């Protein structure tokens, strides 16, 4: 028998990796957990609402672990959990002094390392399991189960994740996780609602741009994190035929911080994927002074870097100064600074020496190790949680995702605010037809006819539309009533197949969107509900301005309204309209 379960409570200490870092306080039953410590130690200790029972680290990037040493110094009794690889990478960077606010007087915290796929009771009735998350070696999606309730409460925190595998880390393990159906899914949303080409296409564009700049004699500066994309790029260039068979001599210089990350990867060889281990049996994983391209760590005695220089994006001005001086010494050399949207510079470009900035061209490229909106939606639909909490993103990026109908019409979607409590209670969205009511055989197929309708009176004759005829037996399925309730459908290409779905009454209230290039929308623009005088949405207290595709639009904040969270017409209305005067006078 199911008992009423207490809500899960979330208190974000930091949600935007570009501004604060990432850390989340989670209350699950009687336990208090800290998910990641990505804030600087002083800010983290000040923001904590109490002392957690345990700390869980998803992976070793600074925006998720930089507050760990300071936290451990204050609370050495609190256990810290991570995967063995995350523990190795984080502690290795600390030992080498490559850490924001490094202090040799502070001891780095010991980890309680747990392997992937093994459930462990870390506290009475609280189970923890790590699953591969992609993005970075050792990165883990964290599954938490509170067995004090019946059924058990489950929460899945993805950390930074990637459904696509990288060269050094397998992607998020959906096959191992799909049966859990967590109550709460905390999922990273750093790419917002953007959709990117496949990773291989992005890498090909990157290689072409690098080759073009090097052929033009430019010195290419490419700031990258100490761990992750830098090692991915070096391995890509060492295996790409355009670099290994280049006619000109190509040199890749690696800044000290990034070089230390490469050395840590080499010590992780037994944990890396088999293709990487096989590669390492024939030649060095990163460093190369015999074959093309030559890959060398940059030292203080090296001359002006020529070729490609992989810089440490987390470096302070003191670490950048030797590079600046060598570039300034030869003002005739052309320089190109390549930037990635997800990589922030700890020393912004605006703080570089003015004479150098004036002759450095800046270009932005798309290359990432996260999920775009397509992969994010696939993860959410696979897990089917009650609550989707969008984390690791700016407020604008999170809101763009939360407003997507395919998410907000199926799940409770939340964009947690910094320093505000969020209660996640048992409450699934009601659908028109429950899965248990599907009496028909899901494998039954219906064959019909397609007819093109032409405008005969026009000259020349024009195609007016397409009509699809299906057999009447389809209406005997209990799902038909919900599917055909409005009489309008949407058709969208999925590969080489055209998929039809019925439009709900709620969707018809929304003004029709422009058909995407990847599909055909068979939907006329619905007529908005118009009202007279002060009954219009533009004068309603629940209408708020938001930015959608760089355009200001109105959205509804009234939870009882069928327009809730949807874009509304300023001249429209609904039964729950309240004029702004009530808000100001009340």
User: Consecutive sets of 10 residues in the chain, 586 residues long: mean pLDDT of each?
Assistant: 75 89 94 95 95 97 94 96 96 90 86 95 96 95 92 94 92 88 94 87 92 90 95 93 86 92 94 93 90 88 78 92 88 90 91 92 92 92 93 90 89 92 78 40 68 64 76 76 70 74 60 40 39 68 68 73 70 75 44
pLDDT confidence of residue 486: 59
Residue of 114, 111, 79, 78 whose CA lies nearest to 94: 111
pLDDT confidence of residue 529: 39
Question: From residue 364, how far is each of 337, 340, 341 by CA, in Å?
Answer: 9, 6, 7
Q: Determine whether domain 199-364 maps to CATH 3.30.930.10.
A: no
pLDDT confidence of residue 531: 45
pLDDT confidence of residue 353: 93
Q: Concatenated DSSP letters for 363-379?
A: EE----SS--HHHHHHH
Question: From residue 371, how far is each of 163, 192, 245 by CA, in Å?
Answer: 6, 9, 33
Put the strands of the sheet holding 567-568 in their side by side order: 543-548, 551-556, 567-568
pLDDT confidence of residue 530: 41
Question: From residue 153, how far is each of 65, 146, 422, 424, 530 by CA, in Å?
Answer: 26, 5, 16, 11, 45
Name every residue whose Cβ is closer than 8 Å to that of residue 436 and which is 6 or more positions away in sequence: none
Boundaries of every domain in the chain: 8-195+369-424, 199-364, 533-585
Residue of 358, 302, 313, 306 whose CA lies nearest to 339: 313
Look at the pTM and tell me if it is higher than 0.95: no
Question: From residue 505, how far is each of 243, 484, 499, 514, 540 by CA, in Å?
Answer: 56, 10, 20, 19, 22
Helices (H), 15-162: 41-47, 62-65, 68-74, 84-95
pLDDT confidence of residue 454: 66
Cα torsion 356, 360, 364, 369: sign = negative
Q: Which fold has domain 8-195+369-424?
A: Metallo-beta-lactamase; Chain A (3.60.15)
Buried b (16+ CB within 10 A) or exposed e, 250-286: bbbbbbbbbbbbbebbeebeebbeeebeebeeeeebb
């Amino acid at each position: 028998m199911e008992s009423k379960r207490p809500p899960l409570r979330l208190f974000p200490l930091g949600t935007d990796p570009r501004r604060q870092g990432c850390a989340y306080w989670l209350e699950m039953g009687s336990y208090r957990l800290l998910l990641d410590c990505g804030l600087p130690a002083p800010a983290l200790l000040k923001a904590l609402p109490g002392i957690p029972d345990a700390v869980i680290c998803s992976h070793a990037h600074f925006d998720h672990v930089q507050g760990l040493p300071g936290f451990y110094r204050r609370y050495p009794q609190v256990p810290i959990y991570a995967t063995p690889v995350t523990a190795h990478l984080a502690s290795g960077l600390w030992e080498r002094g490559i850490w924001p606010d490094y202090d040799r007087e502070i001891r780095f915290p010991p980890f309680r390392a747990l392997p992937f796929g093994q459930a462990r009771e870390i506290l009475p009735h609280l189970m923890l399991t790590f699953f591969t998350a992609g993005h970075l070696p050792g990165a883990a999606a964290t599954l938490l189960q509170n067995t004090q309730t019946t059924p058990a409460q489950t929460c899945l925190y993805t950390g930074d994740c990637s459904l696509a595998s990288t060269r050094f880390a397998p992607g998020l393990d959906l096959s191992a996780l799909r049966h859990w159906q967590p109550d709460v899914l905390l999922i990273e949303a750093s790419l917002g609602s953007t959709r990117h080409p496949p990773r291989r296409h992005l890498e090909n564009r990157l290689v072409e741009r690098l080759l073009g700049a090097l052929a033009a004699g430019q010195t290419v500066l490419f700031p990258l994190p100490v761990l992750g994309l830098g090692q991915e790029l070096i391995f890509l260039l060492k295996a790409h035929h355009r670099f290994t068979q280049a006619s000109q001599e190509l040199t890749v210089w690696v800044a000290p911080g990034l070089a230390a990350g490469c050395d840590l990867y080499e010590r992780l060889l037994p944990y890396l994927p088999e293709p990487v281990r096989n590669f390492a049996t024939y030649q060095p994983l990163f460093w190369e002074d015999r074959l093309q391209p030559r890959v060398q760590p940059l030292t203080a005695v090296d001359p002006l870097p020529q070729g490609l220089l992989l810089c440490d994006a987390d470096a302070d001005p003191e670490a950048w100064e030797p590079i600046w001086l060598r570039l300034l010494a030869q003002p005739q050399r052309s320089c190109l600074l390549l930037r990635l949207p997800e990589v922030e510079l700890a020393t912004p470009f605006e703080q570089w020496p003015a004479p150098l900035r004036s002759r450095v061209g800046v270009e932005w490229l798309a290359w990432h190790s996260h999920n775009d909106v397509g992969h994010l939606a696939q993860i959410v639909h696979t897990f089917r949680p009650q609550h989707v909490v969008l984390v690791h993103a700016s407020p604008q990026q999170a809101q763009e995702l939360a407003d997507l109908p395919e998410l907000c019409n199926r799940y409770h979607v939340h964009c947690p605010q910094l320093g505000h409590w969020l209660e996640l209670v048992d409450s699934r969205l009601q659908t028109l037809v429950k899965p248990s009511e599907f009496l028909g055989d899901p494998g039954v197929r219906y064959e019909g006819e397609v007819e093109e309708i032409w405008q005969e009176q026009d000259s020349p004759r024009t195609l007016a539309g397409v009509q699809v005829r299906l057999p009447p037996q389809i209406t005997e399925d209990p799902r038909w009533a919900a599917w055909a309730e409005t009489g309008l459908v949407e058709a969208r290409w999925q590969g080489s197949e055209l998929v039809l779905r019925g439009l709900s009454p709620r969707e018809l209230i929304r003004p029709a969107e422009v058909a995407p290039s990847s599909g055909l929308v068979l939907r006329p623009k619905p007529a908005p509900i118009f009202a007279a005088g002060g009954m219009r949405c533009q004068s309603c207290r629940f209408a708020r301005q938001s930015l959608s595709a760089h355009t200001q639009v109105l959205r509804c904040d009234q939870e009882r309204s069928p327009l809730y969270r949807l874009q509304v017409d300023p001249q429209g209305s609904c039964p729950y309209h309240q004029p702004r005067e009530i808000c100001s006078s009340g």
